[in-house]
Amino acid sequence: MNVLDIIKAAEETPLAPLPPEIEGYADEENPEVRGRWQIENLPSFDWALARLAECEAEAAEIDRQERAAIERVKARAAELRAKAERGAGFFRFKLLEGAERHRTLLLGTAKKKSREFIHGRIAWRSKPERLVVEDPKALEAWLWEQPVERGLYRTKIEPEMAALQYLAKHGEIPPGCKVSIEPETIKIEATAPEGAIERKP
């Protein structure tokens, strides 16, 4: 098949559907640039790069405005939250203080541990005893002296990726691993007109 046949076959091949994120786009500057519009020459490439830079700058400005609006909302929310939290802290402190001073009034002389109210409940809860580590180094030294059969400590195996990468480069692939080869990609860099450097063809 010669070059002309290849071109003809490409022209007759149905075009793939547009990605959903660009479906229905129509350019504001040039209404003809929409749907199946294609880049066919060098000026079109340069114009498309310029429009890409403009659209990305517009999206970045929208992001900036969004962040500014969010910061204003967050500042107002923080102000209101701080006021509400001060109130909550005040009443929680007063309730704890009152409960400590008036435990008998709340619970009577019985073995009750809580008192129900219309708007809530005040209760005493005792926590079970638990071991607290005060000197981790002393505990670690003691654990090293204990036989593993006692089950008092555990060891954790983590892969050392730098060493495994070295093995893979020299042909040894550990079980459960595979070599991933990244495909070549096209990098598009759009430059805003004011930042572009003129290049002679």
- pLDDT, tens digit, 9 for 90 and up, residues 22-45: 878 889 888 888 888 888 999 999
CA 75 – CA 80 distance, rounded (Å)? 9
Considering the domain boundaries, does residue 135 fall inside one? no
Count up the domains in the chain and report the number: 1
Residue 86 lies in a domain: yes
Instruction: Judge whether 117 lies within some domain.
Output: yes
In a domain, 26, yes or no: no
Residue written as token pair 């102000």: 79
State the Cα–Cα distance between residues 11 and 77, nearest whole angstrom. Answer: 58
Domain that holds residue 87: 37-126
The neighbouring-strand residues paired with 114 are 123
pLDDT tens for residues 114-129? 889 999 999 988 877 7
What per-residue confidence (pLDDT) applies to 4? 57
Identify whether 77 is part of a domain. yes
Which residue has better confidence, 164 or 23?
164
Instruction: pLDDT band for 201, please (50, 70, 90 cuts).
Output: very low
Is 91 among the domain residues?
yes
The CA distance from 123 to 106, in Å, is 9
Is 159 among the domain residues?
A: no
The DSSP code for 120 is E
Query: How far is Cα of residue 25 from the mean position of the Cα atoms in its chain?
Result: 29
Helix (H, G, I), strand (E, B) or coil at 114: strand
CA distances from 26 to 5, 33, 37, 100 (A): 33, 6, 10, 71
Question: Residues 71-87: what's their mean pLDDT?
Answer: 97
Task: State the Cα–Cα distance between residues 26 and 34, nearest whole angstrom.
Answer: 5
For residue 116, the surrounding DSSP H or E stretch is: strand 114-117
- Domain assignment present for 148: no
Determine the pLDDT at residue 199: 44
Judge whether residue 8 has pLDDT over 70: no
What b/e string do you get for 7-27 counting C-beta neighbours within 10 Å, with b at 16 or more?
Answer: eeeeeeeeeeeeeeeeeeeee
The mean pLDDT of the chain is: 83
pLDDT at 145 over 80: yes
